[in-house]
Amino acid sequence: MNEQPLVVLGVTGSIAAYKAADLTSKLVQAGIEVRVVMTESATRLVQAQTFLTLSRQPVVTDLWSLPTWQPEHIALAERAALLAIVPATANILGKMANGIADDALSTFALSQAGPILVAPAMNPRMWANRAVQANCARLRDWGVTFVGPGSGRVACGDEGTGRLAPVEDILAAILARLGR
């Protein structure tokens, strides 16, 4: 295995997106190369600059701004040891379960042949929604690893299942998936 494995970290538009910054820092400290791909919604909650600084790598926020001749989602997919989506919204889970590729992250997810790990985060009513549960069952069936969600109080004040799993648990699951 490559001495410094590449993890593509997808960050989506959940209020828990700020916790992905902590995860980025911990992955880098663990010797992992982290390349962050943010959805447009995620950039409304956390600045790309935060991930640029913590990962020390360019951050992809737009499918159409190409730094090289090769589309970034193809170039990264060839090197990625793991795609981790933290936090994963109901929306990205639905897109992945239905083959939709309409932005940089969902397009990357479709071009990723290797392992995928997701850590969902959403309001408990969203998590309990039948469409969301069916999408997650489908993704699990296809071999996607789920970490969480946990139970407790979510940001909007509701109680139930939907909280992002603790960053330490997600970090441990990523390192285990990489065999480290």
Ligand X SMILES: Cc1cc2nc3c(=O)[nH]c(=O)nc-3n(C[C@H](O)[C@H](O)[C@H](O)COP(=O)(O)O)c2cc1C
Please give the positions annotated as active site: 156
Q: Which amino acid is at 10?
A: G
Contact between 91 and ligand X (CB under 6 A)? yes
Q: Which amino acid is at 70?
A: Q
- Residues with Cβ within 8 Å of residue 127, at least 6 apart in sequence: 90, 120, 133, 149, 160, 161, 162
Q: Candidates 10, 13, 124, 148: give the one binding ligand X (CB under 6 A).
A: 13
Contact between 42 and ligand X (CB under 6 A)? yes
Core vs surface per residue 146-163: b (16+ CB within 10 A) or e = bbbbbeeebeeeeeeebb
Q: How far is the CB of 162 from ligand X (least distance, A)?
A: 7
Contact between 90 and ligand X (CB under 6 A)? yes
Q: How far is the CB of 42 from ligand X (least distance, A)?
A: 5
Nearer to ligand X, 12 or 55 (CB): 12
Which residue in 158, 153, 120 sits closest to 14, CA to CA? Answer: 120
- The stretch near ligand X (CB under 6 A) out of 10-18, 19-27, 76-84, 166-174 is 10-18
Positions in the binding site for ligand X (CB under 6 A): 12-16, 39, 41-42, 89-92, 121-122, 126
